Each structure stands twice: as C-alpha cells, then as structure tokens.
C-alpha cells in the first residue's frame, strides 16, 4: 500500500519548524499563541473560526487540530458543521462574485 | 454504548496486569513515550511523596445503575463488589482518629450499597468539614426507594458532586446511555428544589464534566460558564462549581481508546500537555483511597489498577497516619492524565 502524502503524526512535529529558523519560528508561535488568547472574542469563538478556515484552506492538519480543539471546548457537532457551512458559503460566494467580473468582460468584448 | 462491564464480558482488559502492560510497553506505531518517572525527574519531583492526609476517598462498591463508556472503575449493574458494614466501621474509626477534613464517598453508585444510608448517618456525626457523595444523578430517579435522596442528603448536609457530561442531550446520552440526560435534568431540578446549588445556599452542588471522547477537557472556568448559562436558560437549573476532569487511560476508557485506534494519539496528547507545575498538587499527595474491601491506595485510579500503597499499612485495619505520611506514591504512565494541562483531580484542576 502506498504511503499517504500527509501523515497525521507530522502534526506533532509542527513545533520543530523552529529548528531551522529559530527566530522567525518563535515569532510565528508567539503571534499564533497571542491570536488565540481570550480577547474581544472568546477562545471558543476563535476556535470555531479556525475550524471553518481550516476547511476553506483545506489543511488536514488544521482540521484535525481544530476539530479536537472545538470538542475540548464543549462545542457540539451541529455548531461545528454550521461553522463549516459559513466557510463554504464565503468560499462559494467568493467564486460566484467573480462571475460579475466575467460578465463585465463578456459585455465589454461581446456587447 | 456498553451494556456490560469488561469483567462480565470477559475482556482481557478486566485484568489490571494487562492494563499496566499496555501502559508500560506501549503499542505505538511511531516513537515511544517518555516514562512518567523520567518526566517528573526532570524537575526533581521524583519520588512523589505523600503530604499530610486531608481527604479520605472511600469506594463503597463497584455496583452502578449505569454502564458509561468512559468508566475507569468498570462499574455496572453486574459488578457485585460491595463494602460491608464491618469495613465501614473500620473506616469510621479512621475518620474519627485521622486528621482528614474531607470524606469523599464514591463507587459505582455509592447509593446502591445497602449500608450507604447507615454509613452517611454515622459519618455525619463525626463532624467532618466537607462530606462529599459522588452521585451519578440518575440513581435519584432510578427507583422509588431513591426518590427521597435529595432530602436525605440535605438532612445530613452532604456535599453532592454529580457527573454531567454536557448540557446537551446528544453528548450526554452518547457517553452515559439513552435517557440519562432527561433523568439527570430531573434529578438536578429536584436537588435545586430542596435548596441545593442555589447561589446563597450552604447545600453544595457541584458538577463533574469529563470529555465524551479521546480529547482533553477544555478550560474549567469557560466550561463552567457555558454549563451554567445553558442549564439555567434551558432548564432553570443552578449549581455551584464545575470540575473538569481528564479521562485516564484505564479500564473502559482504555478499551475505547484501543478499539477506536485513538490510544497512541491520546497518550501523546497527555504527554504534550504535561505540566510540571501540576505535579505538586495531584490528588494522591493529600488523599488516601480505600477500596470496597478495605485496602489502601494512593488514588482511585491506582485502586482500579490494583497498585496498593507503598507502605507497611496496606489495609484500613492497619491504618497508621504517621506510617502513610511521606510514603512514596506509586506511579505509572496513567499518571500523565493528572498532570496534563491545568492538571486533574477529583476536585477538578490543580494548577
């Protein structure tokens, strides 16, 4: 059986990126940690946003991480799926809204 | 959803030696875990020593009206181990003569022990500062003979600590069985009705949350806020504190982790979340766990793994506070469960 391109165990090695560029790696993780602290938004709300973005970015590591994180925060399956639909709506909306550009171009070129 | 205990279903995980073998040798596809001993040695916290005894946790039997998926006791209706009145009398002598200020009755469902009420009445006379009964809530609604439990608890000023996996029906019933949520809500309303859990009430009602799957509990304070808001808005229920508890990889939870292929990831999660500052306050340092047949353990988890205290006094009949104080706590890989994140104990977070 061929080895899958992504290995879920690699997520545990995420912190190792600092080994090849310590300063930049540390700056990233400091920033990352700060972003997810409780602020004007709760950590729970931030986790749901992260879950939705994980899907629009189609990052399997992020999906695993934020599925677990939202579960830890007591988020229900229904809330998780609704968050993904929000991401999906923006993603499809973003595609469709570019249709206006296509229509403009067609109108210009082909009256 | 489980219907029988591991013991009744003949699982090899009913054998504590088998559990320790899995925990000690790992069954990992990639890498291996550092030992808990090595981990706490990094901060010079090995050997872990028992401090002054503050809490006596007495397990009065493994019989329970529920068969929860995560249960570290492997409790259920088919478990017959039950504490006798004679052993209870020995416990009462210790309660009278020890410096412990907290008595913590657990099970199974402790209320199912036929001498439970006698024991509560006798123990209440001793004047312990905090007298806890760990109730699964549904027992209050299980049978007519238990319907008066809220009044009974109130009469003896018992501090009720109840399991409640989530504020939604789906997540609660998934972990504990169909119908558990509705019965638990009714039981909480009945406890509230006699005065338990009210903001200005001395009748203490705390809830215990533990995750329904292979993940760690979230922040205790945020979870408490979410629980309080949802239970009040949806059902008019009030309670005092929420204790968030990490599931330890033993008994039925270990069985679930292995069967669902989550064992390796879960153990890594625990180790990655290891918090050296939680070690100083883990429950085994000020608690003594007494089994249904009177044997002494550092905690309820060691009791289930049949890892007795490292002391000459091994049974309640040999109890000697001086001998037990300063003993080396018996540790294994499951101890990572109590030192992950903010730490975990029967009283919630420790760091």
Selected residue with higher pLDDT from A18 and B176: A18
Quick: pLDDT tens for B147-203. 999 999 999 999 999 999 899 999 899 888 899 999 999 999 999 999 999 999 999
User: Are B272 and A12 within 8 A, CB to CB?
Assistant: yes
Percent of the residues in chain A that have a pLDDT greater than 90, as a whole number: 91
Provide the 10 A C-beta neighbour count for residue B165.
24
Q: Which two tokens stand for residue A99?
A: 């249709």
pLDDT at A1 over 70: no
Instruction: Convert the pLDDT of each residue in B248-303 to its tens digit.
Output: 999 999 999 999 999 999 999 999 999 999 999 999 999 999 999 999 999 999 99
Q: How far is Cα B109 from Cα B71, in angstroms, rounded to an integer?
A: 12
Cα nearest neighbour of A11 on chain B: B265
C-alpha distances out from residue B173 to B3, B39, B69, B183, B268, Å: 13, 37, 10, 10, 28
Interface contact A73-B223, CB threshold 8 A:
yes
Q: pLDDT at position B27, please?
A: 67
| Contact residues for B219 (Cβ-Cβ < 8 A; gap 6+) | A43, A73, B244, B342
Q: Which of A74, A75, A79 to mutate to test the interface with B (most CBs of B within 10 A)?
A: A74
Task: State the pLDDT at residue B153.
Answer: 98
CB–CB contact A71 B215 (8 Å): yes
B17-53 pLDDT, tens per residue?
A: 999 999 988 767 767 889 999 999 999 999 999 999 9
The residue written with tokens 């040999």 in the block is B318
Determine the pLDDT at residue B174. Answer: 86
Give, in order, the Cα–Cα distances in Å from B85 to each of A52, B90, B146, B272, B293. 57, 9, 20, 44, 11
Taking the C-alpha atoms of residue B178 and residue B286, their distance in angstroms, rounded to an integer, is: 37
- For chains A and B, CB pairs below 8 A equal 37
A72 touches chain B (CB under 8 A): yes
CA B120 to chain centre: 19
Contact assignment for A72 to B30 by CB distance below 8 Å: no
Q: Which residue of A has its CA nearest to B167?
A: A74
**Given this model, what pLDDT does residue B175 score?**
84
In chain B, alpha helices (H): 6-9, 16-25, 36-41, 85-97, 116-125, 138-142, 149-155, 169-176, 180-193, 220-235, 251-259, 263-272, 300-304, 321-324
Nearest neighbour of A74 by CB, restricted to B30, B170, B226? B226
pLDDT level of residue A37 (50, 70, 90 thresholds): very high
* ipTM summary value: 0.81
A44 touches chain B (CB under 8 A): yes
Q: Which residue has the tokens 């088919």?
A: B78
pLDDT > 90? residue B136: yes
Bridge-based pairing of strands B130-135 and B55-59 is unpaired
pLDDT band at residue B232 using 50, 70 and 90 as cut-offs: very high
Residue of B nearest to A37 (CA): B219
Asked if A44's CB is within 8 angstroms of B226's CB, the reply is yes
**Cβ neighbours of residue A96 under 8 Å, at least 6 residues apart?**
none
Q: How far apart (Å, rounded) are the C-alpha atoms in residues B81 and A6?
A: 48
Q: What tokens appear for A12 in the block? A: 């545990």
The whole-model pTM stands at 0.92
CB-based contact (8 Å) between A43 and chain B?
Answer: yes
Q: For residue B211, count CB atoms less than 10 angstroms from its CB and return exposed for 0-12, middle for 13-18, buried for 19 or more.
A: buried
Q: Are A90 and A98 in contact (CB under 8 A)?
A: no
In the sheet that holds B102-106, the strands lie side by side as: B242-244, B205-209, B159-163, B130-135, B102-106, B55-59, B287-290, B296-297
pLDDT tens digits, residue range B70-91? 899 999 999 999 999 999 999 9
Contact A42 B222 (CB under 8 A): yes
Tell me the pLDDT tens digit for each residue of B190-225.
Answer: 999 999 999 999 999 999 999 989 999 999 999 999
């Amino acid at each position: 059986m061929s080895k899958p391109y992504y290995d879920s165990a690699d997520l545990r090695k995420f912190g190792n990126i600092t080994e090849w560029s310590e300063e930049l790696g540390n700056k990233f993780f400091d920033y990352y940690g700060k972003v997810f602290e409780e602020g004007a938004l709760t950590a729970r709300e931030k986790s749901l946003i992260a879950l939705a973005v994980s899907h629009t970015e189609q990052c399997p590591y992020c999906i695993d991480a934020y599925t677990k994180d939202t579960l830890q925060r007591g988020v229900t399956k229904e809330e998780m799926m609704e968050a993904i639909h929000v991401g999906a709506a923006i993603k499809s909306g973003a595609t469709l809204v570019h249709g206006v550009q296509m229509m403009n171009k067609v109108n210009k070129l082909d009256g | 959803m489980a219907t029988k205990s591991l013991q009744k279903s003949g699982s090899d995980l009913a054998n504590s030696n088998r559990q320790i073998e899995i925990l000690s040798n790992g069954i990992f596809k990639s890498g291996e875990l550092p030992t808990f001993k090595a981990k706490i040695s990094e901060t010079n916290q090995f050997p872990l020593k028992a401090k002054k005894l503050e809490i006596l946790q007495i397990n009065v039997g493994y019989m329970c009206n529920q068969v929860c998926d995560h249960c570290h006791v492997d409790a259920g209706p088919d478990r017959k181990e039950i504490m006798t009145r004679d052993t209870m009398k020995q416990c009462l002598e210790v309660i009278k003569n020890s410096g412990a200020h907290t008595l913590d009755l657990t099970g199974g469902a402790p209320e199912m022990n036929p001498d439970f009420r006698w024991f509560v009445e006798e123990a209440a006379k001793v004047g312990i500062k905090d007298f806890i009964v760990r109730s699964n809530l549904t027992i209050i609604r299980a049978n007519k003979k238990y319907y008066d439990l809220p009044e009974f608890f109130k009469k003896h000023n018992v501090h009720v600590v109840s399991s409640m996996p989530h504020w939604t029906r789906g997540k609660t019933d998934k972990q504990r069985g169909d119908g558990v949520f509705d019965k638990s809500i009714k039981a909480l309303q009945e406890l509230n009705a006699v005065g338990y859990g009210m903001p200005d009430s001395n009748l203490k009602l705390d809830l215990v949350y533990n995750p329904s799957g292979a993940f760690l509990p979230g922040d205790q304070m945020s979870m408490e806020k979410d629980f309080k808001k949802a239970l009040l808005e949806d059902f008019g229920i009030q309670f005092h504190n929420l204790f968030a508890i990490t599931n330890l990889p033993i008994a039925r939870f270990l069985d679930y982790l292995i069967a669902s292929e989550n064992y390796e990831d879960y153990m890594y999660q625990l180790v990655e979340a290891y918090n050296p500052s939680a070690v100083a306050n883990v429950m085994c340092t000020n608690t003594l766990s007494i089994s249904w047949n009177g044997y002494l353990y550092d905690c309820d988890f060691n009791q289930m793994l049949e890892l007795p205290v490292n002391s000459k006094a091994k049974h309640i009949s040999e109890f000697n506070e001086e001998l037990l104080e300063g003993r080396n706590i018996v540790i294994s890989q499951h101890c990572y469960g109590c030192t992950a994140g903010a730490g975990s104990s029967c009283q919630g977070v420790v760091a």
